[in-house]
Structures are given as structure tokens and as C-alpha cells.
Amino acid sequence: MPKIVDHDQRRKEIVEVTWRFIAREGIEKLNLRDLAAAAGYANGAFKPYFPTRDTLLVATFNFVADATNRRIQKSASGLFGLEAIEAFAREVLPLDELRRSEARIAVHFWHLALGDPKLAEVNAATMDNWRALLDSWLGQMFSDEDTRVPMARDSMINFLMGAQVGSVLDAKANTVALLEQQLTYQLDLLATLNQ
Amino acid sequence: MPKIVDHDQRRKEIVEVTWRFIAREGIEKLNLRDLAAAAGYANGAFKPYFPTRDTLLVATFNFVADATNRRIQKSASGLFGLEAIEAFAREVLPLDELRRSEARIAVHFWHLALGDPKLAEVNAATMDNWRALLDSWLGQMFSDEDTRVPMARDSMINFLMGAQVGSVLDAKANTVALLEQQLTYQLDLLATLNQ
């Protein structure tokens, strides 16, 4: 069924063009016509794949989240406990231009999600997935009865989300070196939790 | 000079109307005409005070930041070290509907600031102010030579920024009770830094 394969490939290409456009130009400027033109497609060429701007945006955010999650899976593979948590955190922290672009996408997406419960659910599902991952690694480090473990998990996620904002809007205090040091601080403290 | 007093009062009223509109409706829907109508002003009445949407948005973000900063000053007054840091953090954390509205404003504003260096500077100035406050309180707790202190400061700020996102977009993991527990975790760990 070569036609279906082509459709999937085309959808993927459109989403890749879209996320690079948003990272570079912002989401305000995104409309299907200009995006098609910028990517060398005919006007209306996106419509069969993404009938509305919103369907394209959901697909784009999911694409970015999937890319991050694939990197996490690869980086944390074979690791346990604190080492796995560090590998996870380093894939989310904006430590290079790719991840800074992902942070820009996240900030734009959050703004949209405030006005659209469907988008907010997409975001919350990513967070649920990350909480489940962190639970498994924290479970390798701490007793189930330690009531601080869920707080450690959720404040780690909030730290990472805030670092996404900081890296793109308060960059001098959130350079790569400084973000690495902030992460080391958070991980060092986590390691002392049961001492 | 009663006229000047009126102008200041009018500017303040317009900004208050604006920030409540954004918290309720989002920033996408904000245009000067609808805002004037919603607030019972004549069309064009805002123009002498805020000639463009952007000047109004900058004034609105500054108004919200000033309100938070006044609360911080009041709450932390007479406190030192960890107690002052807790009082500060509780004014930023979205622990009630007012502060959740402020969090919504922040998320919308960050999105705009990504495309506008002038707005990004307004945001970074607020962060600079908070860093200076935290430095003074951390200086009451720790030696200047402790290299982890700047990391504690910056990761605390990133935690608080992430909590703003979480409280409005991932609410079930960031209820008031859970945010309070996350803050306790962060403060407990900070207290053990020099042990």
C-alpha cells in the first residue's frame, strides 16, 4: 500500500516543517498558507492532512514530545535510580539548540493550552508519562513509604519546566553551564533524602 | 493638578481591567476595542493612555509583577534566612485564585516575550530583582564561599516558574496542597545544605 506510506511520510514532513517554523518565528505568525509557501508546498496542500491550524499544532506538540521521549528512552536505557533520573533530566533541560527550540515550542504551546482544554490534556499526558518514569526510578532508590518521594518527583518536573522558560527568556542566568549546575544541585539533594 | 491625578487613576483602571480580561479570556482575544467595550469605555478611550496593544501589555505585566513584589515585601518584612525565602516563595506559588490568575498572565506573557526582546527584558528584570532578594536571604544562611548557593537560588526560581505552568496546565499534580508539599521539600533540602 504505497499510498498510505506516502501519506504518513507527508504528515511527518509537514509537522517537521511546522515545528522548525514555530521555533524560529513563533506561533503568532503561523498560518497554513504561509507555512505551505515557506516549505515549498502549494497553497492548500496541507489541508488533506491537517484540516485546521489546531490539528496541526496538536500533531506538532506530540511530535516534539515523542522526540524528547525517544531520547529519554535511549539515554536512560540500562540505567537505574539517580543515574536514570539524571539522564532523563538532561534530555528535558535545554542544554543545546535543539532542546532550546523544544523549550520555545513548549512555551508557545502552554499559552495556547490555557485557552483549549484539548491541548491542556496533551500537555498533562506528557507530564503523567514523566511522573510514571520518575516513579519507577525513585522506587529503585527509596522506600515506598517515604512521603517525600512524590514531592521530589513533582518538584523535579516543575524545576525542569521552569528551566525551559528560563533558558529562552532569562538566558544569562540559565546558560548551559548554569543549568547543569542547577541540575547537579537538585540531584545531590535528592541523593541525601534517605540519609 | 487634578487632571494628572485623573490620568494616573485612569491608566491604573485600564490596566486592572486588562489583567482580569487576560486571566479570564486569554491574550489571543485581547484587542483594545473589545476590551474597552467589555469595561464600559467608549471605543478609542484607551488610545491616549496606551496607543498600542503592546504598550498596554507591558504595563499590565509590570502591574502584576509590582503587585507580587509588594506582597513579597510585606510578607517577608522582618523575616530572615529560610523564613524570608518561604514567605517570598509563597507569594509566587499559585496557592490561591489570585496567584493562579497571575500564573496565567505569566504564561501568556512568556509566549509574547519570545517574539519581542523588549518584553523579554521586562521579564528578566523581574527575575533579577528576585535573585537579589534571594541572595540577601541566602547570605544570612550560608557562607559566601558555598558555591552551591547560586545554584540553590536559581533552581528555586525555576521551580517556582515551573509551578506556575503546572498549576494552570497540569492542575491535578499541582493542587494547593501538593504545591505546599513541593515547597516544603525544596526548603527542607535547602536547610540541609550546610550540614
Taking only the tens place, the pLDDT of each residue in B135-165 is: 999 999 998 888 888 999 999 999 999 999 9
**In terms of Cα–Cα distance, which of B60, B62, B44 is closest to B121?**
B62
**In terms of Cα–Cα distance, which of A149, A131, A138, A122 is closest to A63?**
A122
| Probe site for chain A from B182, B184, B190, B195 (most A CB atoms < 10 A) | B182
- pLDDT-derived band at A37 (thresholds 50, 70, 90) equals confident
Question: Which domains are seen in chain A, by residue range?
Answer: 7-193 (1.10.357.10)
- pTM (predicted TM-score): 0.92
What's the CA gap between B60 and B48, in Å, rounded? Answer: 16
Taking only the tens place, the pLDDT of each residue in A128-187 is: 999 999 999 999 999 888 888 899 999 999 999 999 999 999 999 999 999 999 999 999
Q: B-chain residues within 8 Å CB-CB of A53?
A: none
Whether A151 and B27 lie within 8 Å, measured CB to CB: no
Side-chain half-sphere CA neighbours of B118 within 13 A: 6
Give A41's DSSP letter. Answer: P
Above 70 in pLDDT, residue A73? yes
Burial (CB < 10 A; 0-12, 13-18, 19+), residue A58, is buried
Contact between A36 and A44 (Cβ < 8 Å) = yes
Looking at B97-170, list the stretches that DSSP marks H as alpha helix, in order from N- to C-terminal side: 97-114, 117-139, 148-169
**In terms of Cα–Cα distance, which of B135, B170, B177, B171 is closest to B156?**
B135
Contact between B169 and A114 (Cβ < 8 Å) = yes
The cell numbers describing B93, all together, are: 506559588
What's the CA gap between B126 and A122, in Å, rounded? Answer: 30
- How close is the nearest chain A Cα to the Cα of B29, in Å? 10
pLDDT of residue A140: 94
Portion of chain B with pLDDT greater than 90, in percent:
59
**Cell 508546498 -> residue:** A41
The cell numbers describing B13, all together, are: 483602571
Residues 6 or more apart whose Cβ sits within 8 Å of residue B7 = B49
pLDDT of residue B150: 92
- pLDDT-derived band at A40 (thresholds 50, 70, 90) equals confident
Residues 6 or more apart whose Cβ sits within 8 Å of residue B137 = B76, B80, B81, B82, B84, B85, B88
Whether B185 and A161 lie within 8 Å, measured CB to CB: no
- pLDDT-derived band at B118 (thresholds 50, 70, 90) equals confident
Whether B110 and A107 lie within 8 Å, measured CB to CB: yes
What is this model's ipTM? Answer: 0.91
